[in-house]
Structure 1
Amino acid sequence: MPAAVLKLDPAMFDPAAIAPDTRAINAGIIKALGAVPDRWIYPMAVLRKLRLEGKGPFPLAPESPLAQVIEIDGPHGPVPLRILTPDAPKGVYLHFHGGGWSLGSARENDGLNHRFVERTGFAVVSVDYRLAPEHPYPAGPDDCEAAALWLVREGPARFGTERFAIGGESAGGNLAVSTLLRLRDRHGLTPFCAASLHAGCYDLGLTPSARQWGDEPLVLNTRDINVFVGHYLREGGDVATPDISPLHGDLSDLPPALFTVGTRDALMDDTLFMAPRWLAAGNRTELEIFPGGCHVFIGFPGTLADAALARIHGFISAA
């Protein structure tokens, strides 16, 4: 039987378990986003530009001095990879950013990825995959698959190691799992020793927590999810297809995975459903639930983010 740590203590879901600083952070996020006019009246390209200029609703992390950008060939053209490399990497982490398949970038994750390098000794390869609605499904997953194949092919010589991990946040968690399935099914490859999957969206048909969340602007709400899915599947696609919604896939022969999510996340059920399925497929599975954590709370300051990041870094380091 695979080893597992599935922590589902009911006390973690009790509002009384939420720490005061987490409550304060969530209140600040709701206030900030509640003051923003309807962002969906703007084209995604405009929202992306504002975020990269540091004019989004939250601060842009400083650029990592370790970062360099290269381009690799992909099925739809060049795919930029943002690479952060320490001296003598202990491994390589292939990272897919969040943003609903429509927003976000590797650059915006420099803060988290630089910290990842410092705490694990791993290099980070963050993929700037194509974004919807300009490039709907399957362009993004195609780019992610190309990046994974590049790492398998070029990684040992470039980084001096074959110890590879994979992961991402939100839409990036979805893309990480779809990439694992593609490598296994299309190429007969299982090259990753670990997966870190934070607040992933694994069922684009929407799990109960996503459907029932409502309008509260705590990073992500039900309308936001529907907007993102609409852009991503602009040219169609069955939401029950494992390449789109990996919760519905055959999850056998996948690497050990750590699933992390907060209890104040519209996508909480995606993780609560996916982790047991990962385990039932015969894979080592660890699950950590963080009281009061909002969607991708690791991107905000606070003791909760510090605890979750320490857990993630420790899991990858020990893989």
Structure 2
Amino acid sequence: MTQPFVRPDVAALLAIANGPGGKRAVDVGLVDARRMMHASRALFDAPVGALAVLRDVGGGPCPMRLYDARDQREPGPVLVFYHGGGFVLGDLDTHDPVCAELARLTDLPVVAVDYRLAPEHPFPAGPDDAIAAARWVAGSPVQLGLEATGLVPTGDSAGGTFAILTALALRDEPAAAPVLAAMPFYPAAHPVKHYPSLDAFGEGYLLSRASMGWFDQCYAPDRKDWRYNVLAKPLAGLPPMIVVTASLDPIRDQGRAFAAACVEAGVETVYQECAGTIHGFLNLRKALPSAQGDLERAVRQLALTLGRLTA
């Protein structure tokens, strides 16, 4: 069998993760898995860096945090970011670095959403928070200090799934500002089907099949509900989609399937598969310098899309 291409920085990180003492989320339990994700930020992620605005925002349906490279801003698009972590892990702090970088690269405000996590709050608490938060941001509440003329839902992994379902929800029941585009990174977009990438990369590539099973048990979803399986809902009429996957990701093929279904439904779609890298690369930019280029390519495509839509 032909071995897949693995970038040198990815190979070095996997050697550490797969070495003696390496632990998966499923191996350590809920409390320690959450601690591990927080600890990995200091070890493997880039620094937050300088911003004009970085503050928590109250008054919405759940806690949020605003990132902006400018201290004053005219009305315009707002990115709404949903963090990854299997619907079980992650929070505003774990994704501070990537949200700050998105604010700098896009020159747009980013609002990160701290949705409720399973197992304390199983499905559909997280999706409900994701949709409600986007509606709140679209209404340009005074607590935000921004006037949103449009939204761009984005996020990684579980958060990428939330970006998609938010775009679907606001397509069907529009908010005060439209969804201009969505940019999901390695989403779990079709979890009810078994794809070859799960067999190829389900062990030894950071995100494991066993951990994914544990996440699903904690999340306790209704597998027939479109908020879990976004491909259960018709996709026609969605805004432009920029779908980003990693070639060594066990859920890579779910992203491929979603992008293909969007094309078949007539949705403007850009598909970016990042060769030789792994699930979670957005949070590993210190350990994986090559991930910065992956993020910048996606942002360039988003800029092209928004520039055409808002011109």
Where does residue 192 of structure 2 map in the other structure? 205
Q: Do residues 20 (structure 1) and 15 (structure 2) align? A: no
Q: Give the TM-score taking structure 1 as reference length.
A: 0.83
Query: Counterparts of 2:4 and 2:25 in 1: how far apart (Å)?
Result: 33
Residue by residue over 1:3-53, the C-alpha shift from the partner in whole angstroms, topping out at 9 and shown as x without a partner, is xxxxxxxxxxx756543333333333333xx6234643544244324544x
Judge conservation of contact 1:260–1:288 (CA < 8 Å) in 2: yes
Judge conservation of contact 1:196–1:258 (CA < 8 Å) in 2: yes
Q: Do residues 170 (structure 1) and 157 (structure 2) align? A: yes
Q: How does 1:147-162 map to 2 (within 5 A)?
A: 147-154=133-140, 158-162=145-149
Where does residue 80 of structure 1 map in the other structure? 63
Letter in 2 for 1:82: R
SS in 1 for 2:180: strand
Query: Counterparts of 1:136 and 1:270 in 2: how far apart (Å)?
Result: 22
Q: Which moved more, 1:213-222 or 1:128-137?
A: 213-222
Where does residue 128 of structure 1 map in the other structure? 114
Where does residue 67 of structure 1 map in the other structure? 54
Judge conservation of contact 1:204–1:229 (CA < 8 Å) in 2: no
Residue by residue over 1:200-252, the C-alpha shift from the partner in whole angstroms, topping out at 9 and shown as x without a partner, is 1012224313642476242211111111111111xx51x23211110222111
Query: Which of 284, 290, 297 is equivalent to 1:304?
Result: 290
Q: Which moved more, 1:195-204 or 1:83-92?
A: 83-92
SS in 2 for 1:154: coil
Where does residue 262 of structure 1 map in the other structure? 246
| 1:47 to 1:57, Cα distance in 2 relative to 1, 3 A | farther
Identity %: 25
Residue by residue over 1:233-281, the C-alpha shift from the partner in whole angstroms, topping out at 9 and shown as x without a partner, is 1xx51x2321111022211111111111111101111011110101111
Q: Give the TM-score taking structure 2 as reference length.
A: 0.85
Where does residue 80 of structure 2 map in the other structure? 94
Q: How does 1:212-223 map to 2 (within 5 A)?
A: 212-213=199-200, 216-223=203-210
Residue by residue over 1:107-146, the C-alpha shift from the partner in whole angstroms, topping out at 9 and shown as x without a partner, is 1111111111111111110100000000000100111111
Unpaired runs of at least 5, structure 1 = 1-13
Judge conservation of contact 2:41–2:94 (CA < 8 Å) in 1: no
SS in 2 for 1:94: strand
Q: Which moved more, 1:195-204 or 1:239-248?
A: 239-248
The count of aligned residue pairs is 296
Query: Counterparts of 1:190 and 1:251 in 2: how far apart (Å)?
Result: 20
RMSD: 2.7
